[in-house]
Amino acid sequence: MPILPPGIQSNNLAGFPQIAYEKTAIREFQANTPYLSELCDMFPMQKRSGRTNQFYGQKPFGPSTTTATEGIPGPSLSLSQVISQTYLSQFTDWLGVSDIANDMFISNIVVDATRNLAYRGALTANLVASSAFEAAATLDATARIDLGDSEFVSGYTLRRAETSLVNNNVPGRSDGQYTCVMSALTSYDLFSDNSAGGVTDVLKRTPQGVTELKDGIVRSFSILEWSGVRILRTSTVPVTAGYPSAGKNGYSTLVVGREAMLASQLSGVNVPKDPNFAVRVTYLDTPDLSNPTLQTAALVSMNWFLGVAPRPNTQGTSAFRRVRAEASIV
pTM of the predicted model as reported, rounded to 2 decimal places? 0.90
DSSP code, position 258: T
pLDDT reported for residue 128: 98
pLDDT reported for residue 31: 92
pLDDT reported for residue 330: 77
DSSP code, position 107: S
Q: Are 23 and 45 in contact (CB under 8 A)?
A: no
Q: Report the phi/psi class of residue 169: left, alpha or beta, with left for phi > 0 and alpha for psi in -120 to 50.
A: left
Phi, psi of 256 (to 5 degrees): -125, 135
DSSP 61-74: P-----PPBTTBPP
pLDDT reported for residue 4: 86
pLDDT reported for residue 216: 61
- Strand-pairing partners, residue 321, are 255
Q: How far is CA 138 from the centre of its chain?
A: 19
pLDDT reported for residue 124: 97
Cis status, amide bond into 6, omega within 30 of 0: no
> Cβ–Cβ contacts within 10 Å for residue 96, how many?
15
In the chain, which residues have pLDDT < 50? none
Considering Cα of 149, then 153, then 156, then 157, what sign does the dihedral take? Answer: positive
- Angle among Cα 34, 255, 52 to the nearest 5 degrees reads 65
DSSP code, position 186: H
Domains of the chain: 34-56+83-325 (3.90.1690)
pLDDT reported for residue 208: 67
